[in-house]
Amino acid sequence: MKNIPELYGSLVFSDRVMRAKLPGDVYKALKKTIQNGTHLELDVANAVAVAMKEWAVENGATHFTHWFQPMTGITAEKHDSFISPLAPGEVIMEFSGKELVKGEPDASSFPSGGLRATFEARGYTAWDPTSPAFIKDGTLYIPTAFCSYTGEALDKKTPLLRSMETLNREAVRLLHLLGYGEISRVSTTVGPEQEYFLIDKELYRRRKDLVFCGRTLFGAPAPKGQEMEDHYFGVLRPRVSAYMHELDEELWKLGVPAKTKHNEVAPAQHELAAVYDTANIAVDHNQLTMEMMKKVADKHGLACLLHEKPFAGINGSGKHNNWSLITDTGLNLLNPGKNPGENLPFLLSLAAVIQAVDEYGDLMRISVASASNDHRLGANEAPPAIVSIFLGDELTSLLSSIEKGTSFTEPETVQMETGAKVIPHFMKDNTDRNRTSPFAFTGNKFEFRMPGSSLSSAGPNVVLNTAVAEMFRRFSLQLEKLSSGERESAAKELVRKAVTEHKRILFNGNGYTEEWVNEAGRRGLWNLISTPDAIPHLLDEKNVELFTRHHIFSRGEIYARYEILLENYSKALQLEGRTMTEMMEKDLLPALLAHTGHTAAAVQSKKELGLPLGFDIRLLEKLSALYDSITQRTEKLSDDLKKSADYDDILETARFSRDVILADLEEIRSFADQAEALIPDELLPYPTYDQLLFSV
């Protein structure tokens, strides 16, 4: 292996490579585009394309692809070779600026929410020069946006780029009003933490529910789960350690700053965290991370599960989204500093976040809504479906003093006392952490803990960027009316007003308790438990106005996403219904029938021998009753799946899927798990929980 600095980014068309490969004027023009968002001329694109192709070919690439993120939630790519025929039997390697800047995939074959009909196939991919190109599997990957022939965004990236520009514009506007004229750009930075499960590949292939749905639809609990709390941060097993080592190397080559790796709480569960990066690059990197997790796992005889709740009874997986704001001068707007009470950029940014989360908590819930994440939220392993903010003791005291107009004394830093003299002294943090909070302040950033592990992190960041930008806009409108000498006191009043009017969103307690659910209801906070509860609010006028005002989405683009989210929810549950039906009829019921037959034969033998039959008869009756219950409910599920096609309205279909199909699945599971616990493993044609969770 190369040393890490040499390995890192070796397959990335990085700034170092651009400086070496591009003419000076071309390099400056491209950097200006990347740093300031200015337009890139075609002659510059042509020069970049030539250098990019030469570098790619030098590194073994034969093809290029426009790599984009359609509304499937995963990535898409179409590969073209660099070859161009020259004469019979001869080719040259070519790549033009036009090919770099624009591609043309079939837009009607991706989810479009009605923006593209089957006969309207044309769509465009457009180069995102702010996210570096890279080489993977002998192909040059060019990060792109994806739009329709008529200009609507058909992807996750375009709205994210729009929201980043909006936040930049409004943040710079506000900072200039506060006297920070040297700041010309504010960027959103994101650091996603990615949780996942690793199981044996051969066992995975024998579970149709894992293959088709990403989660086990039934399964009796293993004798041991996570109750001993011995897996979290435990010693890595050899196969897992080897996997993680190779995964790090592959990600480092691609410029993904993989930093932290460890065992998570549930057996077979793990986590990888990356260093912060600009939001669109961080989203690209996280998509690459999920892809490489699966690819490297396959090489190690493993399967990587990214579903939010692959196994019942143990923790599911999330993707914690660490979000902050950084200026081009190096100022972190969410860093309180040594004197937070006088740090106006921090106070206004904090006030903007508080007000944004309170007013648009429904959008934050919508941004993480899916059939899979519904299983996780509120399950005492993840935040509740209620959006609230944790600030910790120090900031809560600071805001309380601002609201009341009293002085604030920053608490002294306290030395940690462990009682063991040999341990070196270190300073204690000013506040504890809160794992139950959906949106927690963690020192100089906010950690959004609601996103699910399989989710594209673009959506949550679009909402955060846009909602906070709206608050910056409102603050600027107030301050622009005043002279420069009046703005400081007016800014402090804006902070006080935001805290006073939106403090209901602040909660430092235990989010897992029923008392908090009741308290949140009294405060008037959103509690959108399921996806069909949440998605309709995307069309609320306040939310439509937010997105259209800032040109993040048009009304048509908003409705398209409403339709896609609901369709995806219904399709996921219907797929689970069809898979459950097949597994009951082909796998569990035949095994249950075989065990019932063996038990009946044993009963008959004991009867002939005159032996006592009490337990055997009860077991036979239980097995027979379970067989009848599962059969009846599987037939009902089949009928209900047919009924779901009778609904024309997408919201009604989603509600039917939740209220009927999901209920059917859960009812069948309750009987199936009981039956599985009674059937010998050798009669089951699929692996059980103890095999899946403890075999690696």
Torsion of CA 243, 246, 247, 249, to 10 degrees: 160
**Higher-pLDDT residue of 1, 472:** 472
Torsion of CA 11, 291, 440, 335, to 10 degrees: 10
| CA-based radius of gyration for the chain | 28
**Least confident interval from 18-27, 88-97, 313-322, 476-485:** 88-97
Whether the pLDDT of residue 414 is over 80: the answer is no
Instruction: Determine contact, residues 386/520, Cβ cutoff 8 Å.
Output: yes
Distance of alpha carbon 615 from alpha carbon 201, whole angstroms: 39
- The single-letter code of the amino acid at 412 is E
The structure tokens 């029938």 sit at 593
State the pLDDT at residue 43. 85
- Write out pLDDT tens, residues 445-478: 999 999 999 999 999 999 999 999 999 999 999 9
Instruction: Determine contact, residues 297/198, Cβ cutoff 8 Å.
Output: yes
Whether the pLDDT of residue 160 is over 90: the answer is yes
Distance of alpha carbon 652 from alpha carbon 658, whole angstroms: 10
Instruction: Determine contact, residues 71/561, Cβ cutoff 8 Å.
Output: yes
Hey, which residues does 508 pair with through a beta bridge? none
Question: Could you tell me the two tokens for 52?
Answer: 């990019």
State the pLDDT at residue 2. 66
Instruction: Determine contact, residues 425/343, Cβ cutoff 8 Å.
Output: no
- Write out pLDDT tens, residues 363-382: 999 999 999 999 999 887 88
**Least confident interval from 185-189, 242-246, 532-536, 645-649:** 645-649
**Higher-pLDDT residue of 227, 641:** 641
How far, rounded to the nearest angstrom, does the alpha carbon of residue 416 sit from its chain's CA centroid? 35
Average pLDDT over residues 665-683: 97
* Rounded alpha-carbon distances, angstroms, from residue 173 to 35, 254, 279, 348: 17, 35, 20, 13
- CATH fold for domain 163-553: Creatine Kinase; Chain A, domain 2 (3.30.590)
State the pLDDT at residue 1. 57
The conformational region for residue 593 under phi > 0 = left, psi -120 to 50 = alpha, else beta, is alpha
Distance of alpha carbon 55 from alpha carbon 47, whole angstroms: 13
Distance of alpha carbon 322 from alpha carbon 345, whole angstroms: 19
Instruction: Determine contact, residues 429/362, Cβ cutoff 8 Å.
Output: no
* Rounded alpha-carbon distances, angstroms, from residue 494 to 354, 501, 694: 12, 11, 55
State the pLDDT at residue 607. 83
State the pLDDT at residue 644. 92
- The single-letter code of the amino acid at 630 is I
Instruction: Determine contact, residues 362/524, Cβ cutoff 8 Å.
Output: no
Hey, which residues does 305 pair with through a beta bridge? 197
Task: Please name the helix (run of DSSP H) or strand (run of DSSP E) that holds residue 194, with its range, or none.
Answer: strand 186-200
Note the residue count of the chain: 696
Distance of alpha carbon 269 from alpha carbon 292, whole angstroms: 17
DSSP secondary structure letter of residue 424: P
**Higher-pLDDT residue of 86, 392:** 392
Average pLDDT over residues 501-505: 96
Query: Sign of the CA dihedral 535, 541, 546, 547?
Result: positive
State the pLDDT at residue 426. 57
State the pLDDT at residue 96. 84
Distance of alpha carbon 100 from alpha carbon 54, whole angstroms: 13
Contacts of 652 (CB under 8 A, 6+ apart): none
How far, rounded to the nearest angstrom, does the alpha carbon of residue 461 sit from its chain's CA centroid? 10
State the pLDDT at residue 428. 57
Domain 568-694: which CATH number of 3.30.390.10, 3.30.2010.10, 3.40.50.300, 1.20.120.1560: 1.20.120.1560
Instruction: Determine contact, residues 283/256, Cβ cutoff 8 Å.
Output: no
Distance of alpha carbon 51 from alpha carbon 227, whole angstroms: 56
Distance of alpha carbon 328 from alpha carbon 346, whole angstroms: 16
Closest by Cα among 403, 402, 428 to 413:
428
Contacts of 302 (CB under 8 A, 6+ apart): 198, 199, 200, 201, 239, 243, 696
State the pLDDT at residue 111. 77
**Higher-pLDDT residue of 6, 107:** 6
Question: Could you tell me the two tokens for 143?
Answer: 């990060």
Q: What are phi and psi of 187, to 5 degrees?
A: -115, 145
Whether the pLDDT of residue 90 is over 80: the answer is no
Question: Could you tell me the two tokens for 359?
Answer: 């007013």
Q: What are phi and psi of 463, to 5 degrees?
A: -65, -50
Instruction: Determine contact, residues 488/389, Cβ cutoff 8 Å.
Output: no
State the pLDDT at residue 228. 77
- Write out pLDDT tens, residues 179-215: 999 999 999 999 999 999 999 999 999 999 999 999 9
The structure tokens 């939630």 sit at 73
Contacts of 61 (CB under 8 A, 6+ apart): 82, 135, 138, 139, 140
State the pLDDT at residue 489. 94
Q: List the chain domain ranges.
A: 4-155, 163-553, 568-694
Whether the pLDDT of residue 491 is over 60: the answer is yes
pLDDT band with cut points at 50, 70 and 90 for residue 45? confident
SS3 content of the chain, % helix, strand, coil (to 5): 50, 15, 35
Residues 540-548: contacts with CB under 8 Å, at least 24 apart: 540/362, 542/359, 543/360, 543/362, 543/363, 546/360, 546/363, 546/466, 546/467, 546/470, 547/466
State the pLDDT at residue 89. 63
Distance of alpha carbon 589 from alpha carbon 501, whole angstroms: 58
- Write out pLDDT tens, residues 115-157: 766 666 778 899 999 999 999 999 999 999 999 888 899 999 9
Whether the pLDDT of residue 93 is over 80: the answer is no
Q: What are phi and psi of 124, to 5 degrees?
A: -130, 140
Average pLDDT, the chain: 91
Hey, which residues does 327 pair with through a beta bridge? 186
pLDDT band with cut points at 50, 70 and 90 for residue 432? low
Question: Could you tell me the two tokens for 639?
Answer: 């009928």
Distance of alpha carbon 40 from alpha carbon 33, whole angstroms: 6
How far, rounded to the nearest angstrom, does the alpha carbon of residue 363 sit from its chain's CA centroid? 15
pLDDT band with cut points at 50, 70 and 90 for residue 270? very high
Q: What are phi and psi of 376, to 5 degrees?
A: -95, -45
Distance of alpha carbon 129 from alpha carbon 181, whole angstroms: 27
Average pLDDT over residues 604-628: 89
State the pLDDT at residue 486. 94
Domain 4-155: which CATH number of 3.40.190.10, 3.10.20.70, 3.40.50.970, 3.20.20.120: 3.10.20.70
State the pLDDT at residue 411. 65
Closest by Cα among 181, 35, 164, 253 to 464:
164
State the pLDDT at residue 419. 65
Task: Please name the helix (run of DSSP H) or strand (run of DSSP E) that holds residue 186, with its range, or none.
Answer: strand 186-200
State the pLDDT at residue 105. 80
SS (H, E, C) 476-489: HHHHCCCCHHHHHH
Average pLDDT over residues 13-20: 93
